[in-house]
Chain A
């Protein structure tokens, strides 16, 4: 769906993006993560045709984005990391305006706008002024605006920035729904937790370079051992002894209510561990992989600038 090769951006003597290679499959949610100033927004603006790369190539489907920006704009929706409003414009008028700008046929547009507002839970605000919406609502409206011309690719720059927890959950649910609708999504954030939960793939940008990228699980494994938290019904000390006899584990640590086990390997290894614990008579009542490893990868790559 989206292929980026050797992407660079130079502003005078400052090089904001120093060479990014990226491949996003159709239907994926790709999370671009990195600290502020890492080059995420510049990269996204270049993909969205708002900035011209100094070097490199961006291809969306069969379209060279740099050479045929008009065509690329028809097939992508862009949501910046801010929300600009026009005074005195109602929600439905706001959508109408961008419908006009994207030359969406007027026939059936009212229904389309209704459906999009329903998707982002703003149907009840159709006649409200945009200026009076909460930040979360504005973000969702901005997302609906991105969808008015039915793009295949969505470029969302920090869509959950500044939202309260409830609004973040709502945004996450909408993104999952969009993925089910077949959209390919490129999303950026400097908050790890936001992306880890919704992305299929992830890329870590630091100092203008893409340091790590791939499916979330693969990136996690690059960090080394997987960390499994186990809670047991009986004595944790006894459980630790039994778990310690299992093969292929890096370490077994006893905690207050159970164990913390480190192991290398794919998902099969994790499944074998669970089977092994149960087989060894450990009374398992909770078995889960801890997500903190992504944070460790991020910290290692960005030199401790994670938020």
Chain B
């Protein structure tokens, strides 16, 4: 029953997309998101005392780095909130059983939930692209750097989103799942940095630091963003230069991307397993 089109379209994604975009909430959220970033950017420009015209590549690079960091922070705040309640919310609404007795597989359910959340986060990202366009007027920003930055954003959204979905299947209450997802984000950002610092302190000499220290560095979205964005943020690399002696330092953003895709997929698989197991208990 059902043609190819029906099989390819994920019903959960379609429904979430339809419901999420209905009413005033979605446009309002997009407006607030772009507004906040825009205002921060304007504030930064005012602080730097530059006009809106003229070639100023150094200023452009600083503004790009600023925008990149603000965007990453906001996406890291948004993604767990969008996915943490996904499955736990179905439980609370008592609609999960109704989904599980349909022909949808557990993977289709969790994948649909993730894509719906990421689709909206992606929309937030796309809505801010005109702001990046303004920065190109100043120069100092390459399209490659923008491309790398966007790839890091997408990898981060997938990674953090999948973690949110996993917590949503593990914990029965939405609030608990969202808090756990934020906790994981906190670990990936501040926790990994803390781990790196502590390790350096404990081992005293940089050459004594064990090779596994690369792992928390690779898992940190902030570090990956700094390397991908380049410009003033690339100074971050110098902090870790002593650790990376085998050339990974040059390409850390895509190593992070691979880890994010791998671990995100693992989280998604685990979430699907958990949903499947609900009918096996």
- The yes or no answer to B28 lying at the interface (CB within 8 A) is no
- The yes or no answer to B239 lying at the interface (CB within 8 A) is no
Nearest B residue to A150, CB-CB:
B1
Known: A103-B2, A103-B6, A105-B2. A86 touches B15 (CB 8 A): yes
Q: Which residues of A contact B14 (CB under 8 A)?
A: 97, 100
Q: Which residues of B contact A89 (CB under 8 A)?
A: 15, 18-19
- B279 x A69 contact (CB < 8 A): yes
Known: A74-B103, A88-B19, A88-B22. A100 touches B280 (CB 8 A): no
Cβ-neighbour of B6 out of A83, A87, A105 (below 8 A):
A105
- A103 x B1 contact (CB < 8 A): yes
Known: A52-B279, A80-B94, A86-B95. A102 touches B22 (CB 8 A): no
- A52 x B281 contact (CB < 8 A): yes
- The yes or no answer to B211 lying at the interface (CB within 8 A) is no
- A70 x B93 contact (CB < 8 A): no
- The yes or no answer to A288 lying at the interface (CB within 8 A) is no
- A50 x B97 contact (CB < 8 A): yes
Nearest A residue to B105, CB-CB:
A70
B268 to chain A, nearest CB (A): 19
- The yes or no answer to B186 lying at the interface (CB within 8 A) is no
Q: Which residues of B contact A52 (CB under 8 A)?
A: 279-281
Over the window 1-32 of chain B, the binary record of Cβ atoms lying under 8 Å from chain A Cβ atoms (1 yes, 0 no) is: 11101110101001100110011000000000
- A101 x B103 contact (CB < 8 A): yes
Q: Which residues of A contact B97 (CB under 8 A)?
A: 45, 50, 78, 80, 84
A282 to chain B, nearest CB (A): 56
Cα-based distance from A82 to B6 in the complex (angstroms): 29
Cα-based distance from A51 to B280 in the complex (angstroms): 6
Q: Which residues of B contact A83 (CB under 8 A)?
A: 94
Chain A: interface residue count, which band? 20 to 34
Nearest B residue to A78, CB-CB:
B101
Nearest B residue to A107, CB-CB:
B3
Q: Which residues of A contact B104 (CB under 8 A)?
A: 101
Known: A69-B279, A82-B94, A86-B95. A104 touches B19 (CB 8 A): no
Nearest B residue to A73, CB-CB:
B101
Over the window 71-111 of chain A, the binary record of Cβ atoms lying under 8 Å from chain B Cβ atoms (1 yes, 0 no) is: 00110101010111111110001000110111111100000
Over the window 81-109 of chain B, the binary record of Cβ atoms lying under 8 Å from chain A Cβ atoms (1 yes, 0 no) is: 00000000010011111111111100000
Known: A51-B279, A87-B19, A89-B19. A101 touches B94 (CB 8 A): no
Q: Which residues of B contact A145 (CB under 8 A)?
A: 98
Q: Which residues of A contact B96 (CB under 8 A)?
A: 84
Known: A70-B103, A80-B98, A103-B2. A97 touches B11 (CB 8 A): yes
Known: A86-B93, A97-B11. A48 touches B3 (CB 8 A): no
- B279 x A104 contact (CB < 8 A): no
- The yes or no answer to A43 lying at the interface (CB within 8 A) is no
Q: Which residues of A contact B100 (CB under 8 A)?
A: 49-50
Cα-based distance from A209 to B61 in the complex (angstroms): 74
Cα-based distance from A220 to B7 in the complex (angstroms): 50
Q: Which residues of A contact B93 (CB under 8 A)?
A: 84-86
A200-223 contacts to B, CB under 8 A, are none
- B103 x A73 contact (CB < 8 A): yes
Nearest A residue to B99, CB-CB:
A101
A283 to chain B, nearest CB (A): 57
Q: Which residues of A contact B102 (CB under 8 A)?
A: 73, 98, 101-102
Nearest B residue to A101, CB-CB:
B102
Q: Which residues of B contact A149 (CB under 8 A)?
A: 1, 103
Cβ-neighbour of B103 out of A86, A88, A97, A103 (below 8 A):
A103
A203 to chain B, nearest CB (A): 22
Cα-based distance from A65 to B94 in the complex (angstroms): 23
Q: Which residues of A contact B95 (CB under 8 A)?
A: 84-86
B49-82 contacts to A, CB under 8 A, are none
Q: Which residues of B contact A85 (CB under 8 A)?
A: 93, 95
Known: A98-B102, A101-B102. A88 touches B23 (CB 8 A): yes
Q: List 23 A-B contacts (CB under 8 A).
A: A49-B279, A50-B100, A50-B278, A51-B279, A52-B279, A52-B280, A52-B281, A69-B279, A83-B94, A84-B90, A84-B95, A85-B95, A93-B18, A97-B11, A100-B11, A100-B15, A101-B99, A102-B102, A102-B103, A104-B1, A105-B1, A105-B3, A145-B98
Residues of A whose CB lies within 8 Å of any CB of B are 45, 48-52, 69-70, 73-74, 76, 78, 80, 82-89, 93, 97-98, 100-106, 145, 149
Going nearest first, the 4 A-B pairs with the smallest beta carbon separation are A100-B11, A84-B94, A84-B95, A101-B102
